[in-house]
Amino acid sequence: MSTLLLLLLLSNSCRLGQSMSREEKLKLRNQVVEMFDHAYSNYMDHAYPADELMPLTCRGRVRGQEPSRGDVDDALGKFSLTLIDTLDTLVLLNKTTEFEEAVRRVLRDVRLDNDIVVSVFETNIRVLGGLLGGHSMAVMLKDTGYHMQWYQDELLHMAKDVGLRLLPAFNTSSGLPYPRVSPQTIHKATAVGICPDHTHSCVHTHTATVFRSLVHARRALDFLWEKRQRNSNLVGTTINIHSGEWVRRDSGVGAGIDSYYEYLLKAYILLGDDLFLQRFNIHYASIMKYISQPPLLLDVHIHKPLLPARTWMDSLLAFFPGLQVLKGDIRPAIETHEMLYQVTKKHNFLPEAFTTDFRVHWAQHPLRPEFAESTYFLYKATKDPYYLEVGRTVLDNLNRFARVPCGFAAMKDVRTGSHEDRMDSFFLAEMFKYLFLLFAEEEDLTFNVEDYIFTTEAHLLPLSLSTAPHAPSPANATSEEELDDSNFDWTCPNTRLLFPDPAFPRNLRDPIRSAVDKSCPRPYVETSFKLPGIGRPPLRAQDFMANNPDHLELLRRMGVSLIHLKDGRVQLVQHATQAVSAVAAEDGMRFMQEMMELSSQQQKEQLPPRAVQIVSHPFFGRVVLTSGPAQFGTDLSKSITGVRGFVTVAEPYSGCAELSNAAFVQGRIALLQRGQCMFAEKARHIMKAGAIGGIVIDDNEGSSSDTAPLFQMAGDGRNTDDVTLPLLFLFYKEGNILLEALKEYREVEIHWRGQLDINVGPAIKRNPEPEEEPEVDKDSSRKSVEAMMADWREDLEAFQQMEDEL
């Protein structure tokens, strides 16, 4: 932090943002509309009535028909989610004809009684919120006398139905809801899907989940307030709904807790109950005291709020500057937003998580709208044209990096630009609302947006609700002495008084820009000798090679030890106290986290084992070697014929440089040794030489498929679509059989397919048309063949066992 503060003090240069012409704003506004049309029309053409669009494969995502994505899929309840979530966006963008048609589709096609377990959290904000936002727009249009004259509150009745179907989730002793429920059951306390067995995933709920249910929410909210840590006045991220104990005691403003604070303030605005504002003010004071370290927002422990809980931030906290604008605390909003903008410029999008020195921690970006939301609110508060340029950057990046023929695809990795087959409903519900409002003039809007408040999903609820009768605060509510907020203003400050000097916001932003650009500098030392780990960027998990001496030295400096296991794998252990510095220890922790993520990704992408048959004399297909697949290159599991060819050893054997025997490798299957470079690099070198396939042989003497788990070759962390040949991996034992055969017979032909139909028996492949054996002197080769038969039979049995397990 001392480096950051120093940079904040030293940076002092930048020019004042220039105003944007009305014509330029109109051009950008129209661009937003065109982008929305591209996303919405592709959803309707290729996905509806499915919940979401899969933009890379141009089809709908239907839960149960696609591989499970875990908790992410709990938002999908077969509700035509994207259409419901987009209703009020259509009206805001002046697409009243499309809105009327969309409402008719929802009323005609959407069923709410599907037998499926859904997230209470997501169903509240997207489905119930989307229906209420659509209803408020329908009523507004009907009142104009031109549209929706047939409308009779049908969306409101559907919203009520959704709320009733969520009620069973609140049948707990604390009033805190179960995180999941089945909407098929209604008015039943033991609804299917709320996990009455009290398993871990069902009894722990996120703090932000609690306030999103319009029914019974007050009781749950009061319980949360009582469970706050009284000394710090902070709440944790995850709570046990039965015991009321905090499961995760870290507190921040990002994932799992974000909308709790947002809805406290907005509940006061919408419902007029002073108790909500009092509670928000007390929480906000603690946030600014402990969590806010301008421009950073760092999680802390609720019982020891002076201790940071982690060294990274998640992208969901990008909503917080917008909430600070609503609160009237503009200065920290400007500072945090500028930090987020500079991170965005470094990586094109906000990574799902990034470190305190603004490097990528989690590389995904599912097209989240929170940064655009805060950009809009800051422009609304300051009228600084700088924020129009920020919005232009967001638009440009979406079109350059996320746009695909069938919509907009989430980023799988902001570093490589790879995509994920995903376009969440919130992209249409939120992103285009905020971007359109950012560039629109007052006369571009069909209604006064100031008459509405945005929910956490950017759905529009009328402020007229604040004049409706509402229940008074409970009699046993917290005492006024405990809620003394006399130090807080009850009105938002006038931004004109805050910024008498138009250059003031710029003066706040400039040091942040410098801090992000120069944070934790690691200059390359221009000397003839460089000590590993000094003057170099930190080692990334995707680049690590266990036999690279420089990498091993970097691990040592980061406090990471490498242990070689008997099965050929390596185990990594970190001891932060053994690192050469605090920065090196942090790099080590990040490296270990990346390694765990890579390992987890490989396990999720588990592929079946492959088999290599030696089909030339004197083997004739009776020798089958168990091999591991690659997660890139040609997938032979989808091929009927597979690959057949003669093998040859690549020179250099490592395959880490251009092959010197390329002429001999051309048209053959290249044999390579593991190590010294990434698997993808080996593949590119043999492909350039004209090989038809590649087999990588383990360099760890003694490793075998008999004792080691199936090994899958991963890519290099970058795009490997250019690798178009198939690759296999052989452990040392199996690879040595192939090398010995090549040494003895010189011309060895092999055949491999994705999965071979093999009978374990007298080492014979079950084949209706076996290879025709030429006449040979069998006595001359019987001894060597018999000597290897036991090993081959073991390989066959191991291969069959692995197939059965998978």
Q: Which residues are annotated as a binding site?
A: 456
SS3 annotation, 543-603: HCCCCCHHHHHHHHHCCEEEEECCCCCEEEEECHHHCCCHHHHHHHHHHHHHHHHHHHHHH
Residue 89 sits at φ, ψ, to 5 deg, of: -65, -40
- Residue 167 near residue 215, CB atoms below 8 Å: yes
| Strands (DSSP E) found in 183-261 | 204-206, 238-240, 246-248, 250-251
For 740, the token pair is: 């010995």
User: d(Cα 118, Cα 122) in Å, to the nearest integer?
Assistant: 8
Give every CB contact of residue 498 below 8 A, 6+ residues apart in sequence. 330, 331, 504
Q: State in Å, rounded, how far the first CA of the chain is from the last one.
A: 50
Run of H or E residues at 648 = strand 643-649
User: d(Cα 13, Cα 190) in Å, to the nearest integer?
Assistant: 63
Residue 365 sits at φ, ψ, to 5 deg, of: -150, 105
User: d(Cα 194, Cα 171) in Å, to the nearest integer?
Assistant: 10
Q: Measure CA 406 to chain center.
A: 20
Nearest to 91 by CA among 99, 83, 81: 99
Count other C-beta atoms under 10 Å from residue 179's C-beta: 23
- Mapped onto helix, strand or coil, the DSSP state of residue 69 is coil
User: d(Cα 478, Cα 777) in Å, to the nearest integer?
Assistant: 97
- Mapped onto helix, strand or coil, the DSSP state of residue 225 is helix
- Residue 333 near residue 322, CB atoms below 8 Å: yes
> Residue 298: exposed, middle, or buried by beta-carbon count in 10 A (0-12, 13-18, 19+)?
buried
Give the CA radius of gyration of the chain.
Answer: 31
**292: β partners:** 297
> Residue 801: exposed, middle, or buried by beta-carbon count in 10 A (0-12, 13-18, 19+)?
middle
User: d(Cα 323, Cα 283) in Å, to the nearest integer?
Assistant: 13
User: d(Cα 217, Cα 583) in Å, to the nearest integer?
Assistant: 44
Binding site listing for Ca(2+): 456
Find the length of the chain.
806
Question: Within 13 Å, how many C-alpha atoms sit on residue 624's CB side?
Answer: 27
The residues that are catalytic are 122, 258, 352, 370
Nearest to 273 by CA among 477, 129, 488, 466: 466
Angle at 553 between CA 551 and CA 557, to 5 degrees: 115
One-letter amino acid for residue 621 of the chain? G
Q: Is 535 left (phi over 0), alpha (psi -120 to 50) or beta?
A: left
Q: Classify residue 722 by its DSSP letter.
A: T
For 171, the token pair is: 């049948």
- Mapped onto helix, strand or coil, the DSSP state of residue 704 is coil
- Residue 335 near residue 295, CB atoms below 8 Å: yes
* Ordered DSSP codes for 347-386: HSS--SEEETTS-EEE--B----HHHHHHHHHHHHH--TH
